[in-house]
Amino acid sequence: MRRYEEDVDVAVVGAGPAGSVAAEAAARRGAQVVLIERKREVGTPVQCGGFLPEVSELEALLPRSEIPGSLADIPERYILARTRLQRIYSPSGDAKEFSVRGRVIDRRSFDRHLVWKAARAGAEVLVGTRADLGGGSLRLSGFSSGEVEAGAIIAADGPSSAIARGAGLADRRVAGVCLEYEMAGLDIDPDVVEMYFGTRSAPGGYAWIIPLGEDVANVGVGTIPARIRGRRLGDLLDSFIADHRIAKEKLRGGKVTAVMRGLVPAGGMPPAIQRDKVLLAGDAAGMVMATSGGGIPLAMVGGDIAGEVAARYISGNGSLAEYEGRIAKAMGRELENSVRIREVVEKMISSDLLMDGLFAILSPDQMKATMRGQIPRALERAHEMMAKR
């Protein structure tokens, strides 16, 4: 065990995409940074599908954001597959597809690549170490122990953020639960990401197939806990693989080579993401598109802004209060819309008939806009109809 008793400019808790990008952004601007991660090895175990839209798609997804370099330029060695299309299946098995150029990354190595970048920029990294907030400072336990006093604290500690709770910033927002298998030996379309709706396999949510290669994919199911009514997530995923009329043909005989489970914030950001010297970033701040569960791009955009705001504050050139405005501009509207869309869809998702109806009225382009959190008129009309029921 090592003692770590330091006063630092910026302490970042959590070395996922949000935390490593934040630490790099602050360190590059000359701040003295410590990045604290409770896992012994950054990136392991993985809890992710690894799907990331290409830069042009990200620019359309977040038109008012600056895309950080680490998100735009991902070295080829971390990209397992490239996708061209997204295909969505209705409960009755109709398919609609639209073009989405994407990269499927090896999250394990990608997270390590990001933490290496933070370390190269000068951040101190403490692995195997948990941080908790008490009396304005961070208490460390695990591989490193001690206390850290920081000018600014960036909480990038994921969806169950202890730092957000300690700072009084957490609220009880909706979170999805996800279970995913990495599977090999499949008969999939290696350049198509698929989503499947239907109450049998994914009540209140959807199932997915994200290709990792010619015959390898992440196959998962995600939903809101209240919707599964006593059924086990594992049973839902197993039934999707074995019984789904369309998916079973692609997944038959596949072998499970990894199991991943995790929470995904689905209720948008809490009312405040900054208080005193604490800034929340990534999943800790609810920065996840509620329509798709995609959080990596927003975590990296949010982390980059958090690191920059913290470093500017430390050097006397800005205030931490700027953070909320910067985030609102970069992703506020898109996040709010995605939550609104999820709420509309959630009213229909418990009925396969209603979902089939919604599916029938949305064109592939409108579906794409919906996934991006841009509310198409057809969905608004459906919402108005639902409100009158």
Ligand X SMILES: Cc1cc2nc3c(=O)[nH]c(=O)nc-3n(C[C@H](O)[C@H](O)[C@H](O)COP(=O)(O)OP(=O)(O)OC[C@H]3O[C@@H](n4cnc5c(N)ncnc54)[C@H](O)[C@@H]3O)c2cc1C
Binding site for ligand X (CB under 6 A): 13-19, 36-39, 47-52, 130-131, 156-158, 162, 178, 180, 210, 220, 260, 262, 264, 282-284, 288, 293-296, 299
Q: Provide the total of helices (H) and of strands (E) in the chain, helices listed first.
A: 13, 17
Comparison of 231 and 381: residue with beta carbon closer to ligand X: 231
Comparison of 296 and 358: residue with beta carbon closer to ligand X: 296
Tell me the HSE value of 305 on the side-chain side, using a 13 A CA sphere: 29
Q: How far is the CB of 222 from ligand X (least distance, A)?
A: 7
Q: How far is the CB of 249 from ligand X (least distance, A)?
A: 23
Comparison of 304 and 352: residue with beta carbon closer to ligand X: 304
Exposed/middle/buried for residue 56 (C-beta within 10 Å: 0-12, 13-18, 19+): exposed
Comparison of 13 and 228: residue with beta carbon closer to ligand X: 13
The DSSP secondary structure of 304-341, one letter per residue, reads: HHHHHHHHHHHTTS--TTHHHHHHIIIIIHHHHHHHHH
Q: How far is the CB of 363 from ligand X (least distance, A)?
A: 25
Q: How far is the CB of 11 from ligand X (least distance, A)?
A: 10
Q: How far is the CB of 163 from ligand X (least distance, A)?
A: 7
Q: How far is the CB of 6 from ligand X (least distance, A)?
A: 16
Of 373, 199, 216, 241, nearest to 295 (Cα)?
A: 373
Comparison of 118 and 367: residue with beta carbon closer to ligand X: 118
Long-range Cβ contact pairs of 230-239 (< 8 A, separation 24 or more)? 231/203, 233/177, 233/178, 233/179, 233/261, 234/179, 236/179, 236/201, 236/202, 236/203, 236/207, 237/179, 237/180, 237/181, 237/201, 237/207, 239/200, 239/201
Cβ proximity of 134 and 87 under 8 Å: no
Of 244, 141, 102, 354, nearest to 219 (Cα)?
A: 244
Comparison of 15 and 327: residue with beta carbon closer to ligand X: 15
Comparison of 15 and 152: residue with beta carbon closer to ligand X: 15
Of 378, 340, 387, nearest to 357 (Cα)?
A: 378
Q: How far is the CB of 270 from ligand X (least distance, A)?
A: 14
